[in-house]
Amino acid sequence: MNILLIYPKMPSTFWTMDHLVEMVGKKASYPPLGLLTVAAILPTEWNKRLIDLNIGQELTDEALEWADFAFVGAMNVQVRSAREVIESCNAKGLKVVAGGPLFTHEHDTFPSVDHFVLNEAEITLPLFLADLAAGTPKPLYATPDFANVHETPIPLWELADMDKYAYMIVQYSRGCPYMCDFCDVTALFGRKPRVKMPEQILAELEALGELGRFGMVLFADDNLIGNQITLKKTLLPALIEWRARTKPPLGFSTQVTINLVDDEKLMDLMLEAGFRHIFSGIETPEEGSLLASQKRQNTKRDLLANVQRLHEKGFIVTAGFIVGFDTDTSESFQRQVDFIQESGIVIATINLLKAPPGTELYKKMRDAGRLIEPFDFDENESNIIPVMDPQQLHEGFDFVLRHVYSPDYVYRRARTFLQAYPGPKVTNRIVRKLSAGDLGTFFRILFRLGILDASRGRFWNLFFWTLRNRRNLLEYPFFFAALSLQFQRMYQRYDAAAETRKMQIKVVEMPVPVPSSASAESGASFKQSA
């Protein structure tokens, strides 16, 4: 049996970081973890090929004619490309098997898919394979149960062209104990975090090491600290021991809730284990909106002081923010900008309120007649009819982006961050020898941002300030300069789409918003969590 695994194209968003990835000489951020895990569940004797449309690979006639089945895995953001892929397969008479969050939520909008393998593949894929072997495959396999991740195999990394990816990826846990109403993680994976055994994670890391793929490894958990007791007792000690023994030249990034800051021991263990970059969904500094969207873990705390403490400890905080809550006023936009600037969070993603299918917010908005459908997910769009005048909301969103992503503001935040950040105090430091690739990146950044870019003065200011005050952190001005370029390009893309959006706002017929106590002040994020 010949299986073609196809990963549709991601649109250019904050998460693809395409300009940054290009700057480091790569094509995409991460290999497709879910699809490669599916590949590992398929019978070993089957022939498998992966086509990832994000790294310049193409869906050729030869590949489509070679395959007996196409397996397509996708998230909401890949919907446009997923439809094109399915059309190409249909045109060649190639049977399509589809799974992943996009199809789990919206399979009824894909009538030409032959078989849906929904929810977690560890449960549904074996059912499909058994029926296929018996000659009776059904159109749809779904389950209300959650998989035992102790049985999840190591992804079939060898199918991917690993040199094309900037970072590597593993996953320790699925599920999250919180109930943020805009987030589809609990609908997909439940509220009880299920975690892999430390041996599984170490085996996955060793497998990546054998492929020579060390560097930064993302723990693609929606909330790594969802089960803190097990994390502290098992995985973190195992990673610390492994790091001390093998001295791997790699660091970890992940997503966590902000209450990480409440637990000194957990922070120390994470740092010692090698975690450095952490993403946290801060969403808004406004308490009322956090409460209404059930983001209770972010309430009753000084969020600004929390971020500063995380920086002081040695984490580099990346965070997500949302505008478009029902309670937002004309002043909310300036408050978001002020918070982001004061926090020193250099990498901030800003989204319009959205209601992803499967979430509580989606149901509330649908019941209130406030959903815009159909809808293609994009950071700069929303499927919610806002309480605020739509034109005012888009102007406010534009205001936040224009400030937060301007080189002046990015470099100022970088300075704030570097002033607060001493670097982690750990026993086992991450030591990485500079490679030829690193030198290439260094010269590309130097040429584009230190010589050609209009903001080169800001870059050199930051560089010399760091040289005088934080000599041990000299790589950061380069990193932040590359980010500044990424942000500029993202803003340009948003700006170019703004006129079209203004016209769309005018032509959408607006039902009268019906905010209820349950639907007021809620938020949505763009496939971001924690």
Query: Site residues (CB under 6 A) for ligand SF4?
Result: 176, 178, 180, 183, 185-186, 222-223, 257, 281, 529-530
Give burial (CB, 10 Å; 0-12/13-18/19+) of 265: exposed
Q: What residue has token string 């998230």?
A: 75
Q: Which is nearer to ligand SF4, 3 or 310 (CB)?
A: 310
111: number of Cβ within 10 Å: 7
Q: Which is nearer to ligand SF4, 186 or 416 (CB)?
A: 186
Q: Which is nearer to ligand SF4, 16 or 186 (CB)?
A: 186
Shortest CB 319 distance to ligand SF4, Å: 12
Q: Which residues contact 130 (CB under 8 A, 6 or more apart)?
A: none
Shortest CB 275 distance to ligand SF4, Å: 17
The letter for the amino acid at 22 is: E
Q: Which is nearer to ligand SF4, 171 or 484 (CB)?
A: 171
Q: Which is nearer to ligand SF4, 161 or 263 (CB)?
A: 263
**Rounded Cα distance, 217 and 171, in Å:** 10
Shortest CB 325 distance to ligand SF4, Å: 15
Q: Which is nearer to ligand SF4, 122 or 360 (CB)?
A: 360
Q: Which is nearer to ligand SF4, 21 or 256 (CB)?
A: 256
**Rounded Cα distance, 329 and 17, in Å:** 30
476: number of Cβ within 10 Å: 20
Which of 190, 321, 319, 177 has its CA nearest to residue 261?
319
Listing DSSP states for 293-323 in one string gives TT-GGGSSS-HHHHHHHHHHHT-EEEEEEEE
Shortest CB 189 distance to ligand SF4, Å: 9
Shortest CB 254 distance to ligand SF4, Å: 12
Shortest CB 315 distance to ligand SF4, Å: 17
Residue 151 and residue 122 in contact, taking contact as beta carbons nearer than 8 Å: yes
**Rounded Cα distance, 7 and 486, in Å:** 24
Residue 51 and residue 4 in contact, taking contact as beta carbons nearer than 8 Å: yes
Shortest CB 283 distance to ligand SF4, Å: 8
Which of 28, 46, 27 has its CA nearest to residue 38?
46
Shortest CB 453 distance to ligand SF4, Å: 35
Q: Which is nearer to ligand SF4, 200 or 529 (CB)?
A: 529
